[in-house]
Amino acid sequence: MTTGLNALTLTEVAALLRRREASATEVLDAVLARARAVQPKLNCFLRIDEELAREAARLADLELARGRLRGPLHGVPMAHKDMYYREGVPSSCGARVKGNEPERTTATALKRLDAAGAIQFGVLHMAEFAYGPTGHNYHDGHCRNPWNTAHVTGGSSSGSGASVAARAGFAALGSDTGGSVRLPAAICGITGLKVSYGRVSRAGAMPLSFSMDTVGPLARTAADCALMLSVLAGPDPADPTASAEPVPDYLARLALPVKGLRVGVPMSYFTDDIDAAVGAALTESIKAIASLGCEIVPVALPDLVPVDAAGTHVIAAEAAAYHGNWLRTRAEKYSPQVRARLERGLAIPAARYIDALRMRGPALAEFSKAVFAKVDVLHAPCIPIPTPTIAETDVGGSPNMDRTLALMTKFMRPFNYLGLPSLAVPCGFLASGLPVGMQLVGRPYAEDAILRLGHAFQQATDWHRREPPL
């Protein structure tokens, strides 16, 4: 068990810093020591910028001593998925083909975290170009699950999941195009927020699929995610898809009651392929939600198989367009798996890609009519199976590899396609010691509702407090 500063949540450490009960330098020291201790086992950091972070922490302490508080994250050290550009610094995006040129802009998400007082101390492991669900990376080495290093972390925000679970960070940015925040959150036993499409600016973040990409946090708790979102959300002239929808006070709304909230439990699709032990943990989570005074409502869903497939078409076609030039000129610099996924996108007929975009509005309307006309939040599994090993999801590692990867993503992608917010919350553990996660899915821009329910669940359970035995 970690003790002291590393054991605190983001909201706790931020409050401690504001009260000057710990200095930014002390907090950074604790995080750097933990990062160094876990890195050989987990491979979750791609780079640690110790000198820059130390100088920033020194400045943060000086400002606090003079009574200047930059914002709600003043002095909190953070590392982020290595796809958020910072001017003058190269972002690897977990790849080699991109080269090592310094970025010419800073991501809006980083600018907002900077303005809130956060201190970036490094960059985190990720799947090559965020195009993989497991945490494999053949260039940087695979990231490893802190609960059992033989198992995958989930991806593509692999380092974000592993480092926050390992208490080597309080929160981290991930990105979610087809599950890349929620998978590592669920698999590493932490909390991850996939936001509504457009809720957070994508400017300066590496694109994978402009129609599906979302920027979101991974942290220990729903309250931590609410704090991060309160800093990140809002319109941005640099991203025309960033919504002008008003940003509520997410932290204040955590305190609203959940009694009487209607929580839907799917009667189809999310009931398929569920492992018995995973299913038992999910059933217990529904009982815990019911005990909060929520009304549990079985919900008949529209057919999500075409929705999932259409989401795949959108991601594949858009990713292939971004990567077309490199595929023509230096394809050998991609790992074979990512190259094959990208090439698949080049073979999708243009009319089929446009059909996939045309179907999105009607699909959202149909889903909302079936679900949100009856309930406020939908409860769903994150993945139906126990977390697979790195070996069995490696190329040639198992004859079932393709099916395993498909099972890992099938409950994720529909919500990217539908543009809905979803919170991954730890809700149990298997006998193997590996975590199980649930999703709480809300209406468009109703992040406040799912964060509130996730927070209430975490007040009544302790799954999110469990720490990997590193």
Partner 1 sequence: MNPRASETYVTEVLALQGVAAAPEAARAIAPTLSAQLAAADPGYAALAFDVEPATFLVALDREKP
Q: Which of 118, 359, 451, 456 binds partner 1 (CB under 8 A)?
A: 359
Calpha distance 255→232 (Å, rounded): 20
Give 85 or 326: the residue with its C-beta nearer to partner 1.
Answer: 326
Active site residue 81: yes
Sheet with 295-299, side-by-side order of all strands: 171-175, 215-219, 191-194, 422-429, 435-441, 377-381, 262-266, 295-299
Q: Which of 15, 365, 391, 460 binds partner 1 (CB under 8 A)?
A: 365
**Considering 158, 160, 163, 180, which one is annotated as catalytic?**
180
Determine if 397 is a binding residue for partner 1 (CB under 8 A): no
Q: Which of 12, 49, 343, 394 binds partner 1 (CB under 8 A)?
A: 343
Characterize the bridge pairing of strands 295-299 and 262-266.
parallel
Calpha distance 85→66 (Å, rounded): 31
Give 55 or 303: the residue with its C-beta nearer to partner 1.
Answer: 303
Calpha distance 23→60 (Å, rounded): 9
Determine if 310 is a binding residue for partner 1 (CB under 8 A): yes
- Residues 403-422: x where in contact with partner 1 by CB under 8 A, - otherwise, as a string: ----------------x---
Residues 6+ apart with CB under 8 A from 218: 157, 160, 161, 164, 171, 172, 173, 174, 181, 184, 185, 190, 191, 192, 193
Q: Which of 115, 340, 391, 460 binds partner 1 (CB under 8 A)?
A: 340
Kindly state the smallest distance separating residue 139's Cβ from partner 1, in Å: 19
Angle at 238 between CA 80 and CA 442, to 5 degrees: 65
* Stretch 188-227 residues interacting with partner 1 (CB under 8 A): 196-198
Calpha distance 102→100 (Å, rounded): 6
Report DSSP state, residue 171.
E
Determine if 449 is a binding residue for partner 1 (CB under 8 A): yes
Q: Which of these segments, 67-75, 76-84, 274-282, 342-350, binds partner 1 (CB under 8 A)?
A: 342-350
Calpha distance 422→416 (Å, rounded): 9
Active site residue 180: yes
Q: Which of 19, 40, 328, 396 binds partner 1 (CB under 8 A)?
A: 328
Burial class (CB in 10 A: 0-12, 13-18, 19+), 362: exposed
* Number of residues in the chain: 470
Determine if 445 is a binding residue for partner 1 (CB under 8 A): yes
**Considering 156, 209, 243, 335, which one is annotated as catalytic?**
156
Determine if 333 is a binding residue for partner 1 (CB under 8 A): no
Determine if 131 is a binding residue for partner 1 (CB under 8 A): no
Kindly state the smallest distance separating residue 31's Cβ from partner 1, in Å: 37
Q: Which of 37, 59, 346, 470 binds partner 1 (CB under 8 A)?
A: 346
DSSP class per residue in 27-78: HHHHHHHHHHHHHHHH--EEEE-HHHHHHHHHHHHHHHHTT---STTTT-EE
Calpha distance 169→166 (Å, rounded): 8
Which residues are catalytic, by number? 81, 156, 180
Applying CB under 8 A, the residues found at the interface with partner 1 are 196-198, 245, 303, 305-310, 312-313, 324, 327-328, 331, 336, 339-340, 343-344, 346-348, 352, 354-365, 368, 372, 402, 419, 443-446, 449
